[in-house]
Structure 1
Amino acid sequence: MDTYARLLDELSTSGALGEEWRGAFERAPRSAFIPDRVWIQAKSSPNGFVRLDRAVDPERWEGLADSDAVVVTQLDDGFEEGPGVATSSASLPSLVAMMLGRLGLSGGDRVLDIGTGTGWTAGLLAARLGGDRVTTVEVDPELAAQAEAALRAQGLSPTVVVADGLAGWEASAPYDAIHSTAAVQRVPAEWVAQTRPGGVIVTPWGTTYANAGLLRLVVGEPGEAAHGRFVENASFMWMRAQRPHAVTRPEAGPEHRGPARLDPDLAIENVHAAFGIGLRISGVRYAHTWEPEDPAGTARMQLSDGAGSWASIRYVRWEEADAVHQLGPRRLWDEVESARLWWEERGKPELTRFGLTVHPEGRQVVWLDDPRHSVSGSRLT
């Protein structure tokens, strides 16, 4: 038995891969969609990645392609000499299988696949439903061309469109389901409008603070809202037009210094804490800085809203008077502390207790446990 067949057996045994999808995974193996040049993480590299070429190290390439691991297939949107940010990848097979299972598809359904990437997900959908029932949208022309070539080589023929997936693809609507492999901060109203009543939208969703939720929306009747829950912890690359801002310090602004009232470790204690905090302070992003000669002693969390407010919090001796430095009209660290307290007061809910309502005009409201219990104070509402 080859490596990929063993992987599928493992996914089937674990329950990640449903029997209705096994044939599609066999007909469209992931390795058929992985380009010959991929990128692997390496601390020794200036940008954190080194290239892995199939021709140079075929055994390692094949082992990676047939494993339950992410394979980075593009850095920096394809531009050379970039900072080394992964911008396209082939997701974990276990996660892909789980997401496809969440669509609840049956024969004859029509699906819009957003974020073609390597083409693998579109290939799986086409292998299950038939190419005439699958449309896939990719914003990057080069990636789209590579994916289409891989699909054709496998005898699969979904419609491949080069466009911004945030607008969906109205020409093939309505869809029974929309499947996105890129994270959004806001679910586009176009997705809801292009999905039939009772249809499903599955997409990674997050805030600038925590890109963490897999959302499953069920679309209502025309003019009605779509409702859904966050069903899994899943982090994907952002849709290009919704990528968060960089964490930057403003040159000037209202200034405040003082101690922290919260151990900074608790601000990102786990994915559930970060998700809950992010819902209350949407628009705030964090990053970490340290001095190379003393990483542990100088580690700091930095916060930015991209609109002139910034904060820096020291991890060690966080109770001391100079531990927190805040600039700008918002006191971002104070907001994080308040958001953490809000999350604790509600019993430290896991992210799967939250849900989202998308109204026809595009307004979205996050709620806890029930659509009637909106996350009041959230900047999403």
Structure 2
Amino acid sequence: MRDGYERLLAGLTLSGALEEGWLGAFERAPRPVFVPESVWAPDAAIPTGYRRVSRVVEPETWWALVDADEVIVTQLDDGAHDGPGVPTSCASKPSQVATMLRRLDVVDGARVLDIGTGTGWTSALLAARLGRESVTTVEVDANVAAEAADRVKAAGLVPERVVVGDGLAGWPKGAPYDHIHSTAAVRRVPRTWIAQTRPGATIVTPWGTPYANTGLLRLVRGEPGAPSYGRFVDNVSFMWMRAQRPHEVTLPPVPPDRLGPSAIAPDLALSNVDAAFTIGLHVPDACYVHTWDRITLSDGNGSWASVRYETWDAPDAVRQWGTRRLWDEIALARTWWESRDRPSLTRFGLTVTPRGRQKTWLDEPKNLVGRPRFPAE
């Protein structure tokens, strides 16, 4: 192993993210082997916000990216060559990879469905820890899947199956699984994942709302006909499952039908990850964008709001339109969070009913938070 990767593993071990049971897998499946020769580095001087970094042309920059405990963008705009520069595939942050694998609580012989193959690194880590015959990995992008298959083959850590398909559908031919591990964020846990796991299985996935994509969910599959319960165990950030990406914020060409002052400073709605997560639970369909002077929100169904940062308590600071008063809902959710002694996101949990309805709660399942969602019973 290179010195940079050894230092990375030492740091992950010292922080507690990487436990002893997974250290050998990280040594047998080193991250650099799975990072593409060309990646995308943030660059504010470029219109898309990213510039291509080649291992051949800029080896020092490439290695600095690979040896850091940071996300590396490996694809923009689903592979299109003329897109706006939106990251759509990546090599995940090593500390978050280690944390998620630790949360699976695997034992020898466990069978895992890995959702979101990406570079192939996490599926290779699972194969190194559990054996290739225990791992099935699914990737929606055929080109990404093909490149990942080449890398895991070269490393001698090929999973039993590398499947091109929609991760939300899982892979029923390999069911039942003991664990499902997803590196793509979901807004709702697919019923297929629960159907394809055995009772007591763990499902570890990034989970969020369009307002705050920040939770790591560890869900335990219930008995047949019974609910499944889980808790948000950490703060993470991953790209969305493609089919569950939030809507874009657009403003209709109509004037607002309500003007007024804001009940809170706009910065308070996003200044704290726990507050933002809580707001997202209360207003699960709200998306926002920033401009230099205001925050703008929409719900994807015609309602929108816009709030000025300066003089936010002035009579015309808040502009709203539609059947909902989105900013009023945001302000009320922030006030609710304050009134409950500012709970961290790890105090929240999720219930998935046998019919697929999601219910979020604080501390215990009877203390429901927000609106039950997806689908209606």
Give the CA deviation at 1:252.
3.1
Q: Secondary structure at the match of 2:319?
A: strand
Corresponding residue of 1:80: 81
Which structure 2 residues correspond to residues 1-381 of structure 1 after superposition, within 5 A?
2-158=3-159, 159-252=161-254, 255-290=257-292, 299-377=293-371
Q: Deviations over 1:50-85 (max 9, x none)?
A: 110111011211221122111000000000110000
Give the CA deviation at 1:254.
6.3
Contact 2:118-2:139 within 8 A present in 1 as well: yes
TM-score normalised over the length of structure 1: 0.96
1:243 to 1:376, Cα distance in 2 relative to 1, 3 A: closer
Query: CA separation in 1, counterparts of 2:316 and 2:149?
Result: 56
Contact 1:368-1:375 within 8 A present in 2 as well: yes
Matching residue's letter, 2:58: D
Query: CA separation in 2, counterparts of 1:225 and 1:102?
Result: 20
Q: Which moved more, 1:343-352 or 1:167-176?
A: 343-352
Give the CA deviation at 1:38.
0.3
Matching residue's letter, 1:247: V
Give the CA deviation at 1:251.
2.4
1:356 to 1:122, Cα distance in 2 relative to 1, 3 A: same
1:258 to 1:378, Cα distance in 2 relative to 1, 3 A: farther
Query: CA separation in 1, counterparts of 2:373 and 2:201?
Result: 28
Query: CA separation in 1, counterparts of 2:27 and 2:51?
Result: 30
Query: CA separation in 2, counterparts of 1:170 and 1:233?
Result: 30
| Percent of aligned pairs with the same amino acid | 62
Give the CA deviation at 1:379.
5.5
Give the CA deviation at 1:377.
4.4
Query: CA separation in 1, counterparts of 2:277 and 2:310?
Result: 24
Contact 2:358-2:372 within 8 A present in 1 as well: no
Query: CA separation in 1, counterparts of 2:20 and 2:327?
Result: 48
RMSD, matched Cα: 1.2
Query: CA separation in 1, counterparts of 2:301 and 2:331?
Result: 20
Query: CA separation in 2, counterparts of 1:88 and 1:155?
Result: 23
Give the CA deviation at 1:376.
4.8
Query: CA separation in 2, counterparts of 1:311 and 1:220?
Result: 40
Contact 1:254-1:329 within 8 A present in 2 as well: no
Query: CA separation in 1, counterparts of 2:358 and 2:108?
Result: 31
Aligned residues: 373
Q: Deviations over 1:262-306 (max 9, x none)?
A: 11011112100001011111101111012xxxxxxxx10001001
Q: Which moved more, 1:56-65 or 1:123-132?
A: 56-65
Query: CA separation in 2, counterparts of 1:161 and 1:155?
Result: 18
Q: Secondary structure at the match of 1:375?
A: strand
In the alignment, structure 2 segments of 5+ residues that lack a partner are none
Query: CA separation in 2, counterparts of 1:361 and 1:144?
Result: 32
Structure 1 moving runs of 4+ over 2 Å: 251-254, 376-381
Contact 1:272-1:350 within 8 A present in 2 as well: yes
Contact 2:359-2:373 within 8 A present in 1 as well: no
Q: Deviations over 1:7-27 (max 9, x none)?
A: 111211221111111111011
Q: Which moved more, 1:134-143 or 1:58-67?
A: 58-67
Q: Deviations over 1:189-246 (max 9, x none)?
A: 1111111111100000001110010000011111111101000001110000000000
